Copies of this chain bind each other. A is one copy, B any other.
Amino acid sequence: MVLFRTNILKCNECPIRHRAVCANCNDIELNLLENIKTYKSYSAGERILWRGEELIFVASVVNGVVSLSKTLEDGRKQMVGLLLPSDFIGRPGRKEIEFDVTATTDVTLCCFKRKPFEKLVKETPAIAQRLMELALDELDAARDWMLLLGRKTALEKIATFMEMFMRRSNSQNPLKSHQNIHLPLRREEVADYLGLTLETVSRQLNYLKKMEIIDFVDRRNFQVLNISALQNATGDDSDGGVIN
Residue ranges of A at the interface with B (Cβ–Cβ < 8 Å):
51-53, 68, 70, 72-74, 76-78, 80-81, 91-94, 98-99, 128, 131-133, 135-136, 138-140, 142-147, 149-152, 194-195, 235-238, 241-243
Contacts and interface: CB of A to CB of B under 8 A. Distances in A.
Nearest to A149: B149
A132 B122 CA distance: 13
A4 B73 CA distance: 49
A235 B75 CA distance: 10
A50 to B, nearest CB: 8
A136 B78 contact: no
Nearest to A194: B150
Contacts of A242: 52
A196 to B, nearest CB: 8
Each complex incorporates copies of this chain amounting to 2
Contacts of A143: 68, 70, 80-81, 98-99, 142
A150 B78 contact: yes
B52 A151 contact: no
B132 A92 contact: yes
A142 B146 contact: yes
A198 to B, nearest CB: 14
A93 B51 contact: no
Contact of A78 (B52, B93, B151): B151
5 contacts: A51-B241, A72-B235, A93-B132, A93-B133, A98-B143
A181 to B, nearest CB: 23
A235 B91 CA distance: 27
Contacts of A136: 91-94, 135
Given A135-B136, A135-B139, A143-B99, A74 B235 contact: yes
Nearest to A146: B80
A243 B51 contact: yes
A52 B243 contact: yes
Given A70-B147, A76-B235, 10 more contacts: A70-B143, A70-B146, A72-B235, A77-B151, A132-B132, A135-B136, A135-B139, A139-B142, A146-B146, A146-B149
A139 B137 CA distance: 10
Nearest to A152: B72
A195 B151 contact: yes
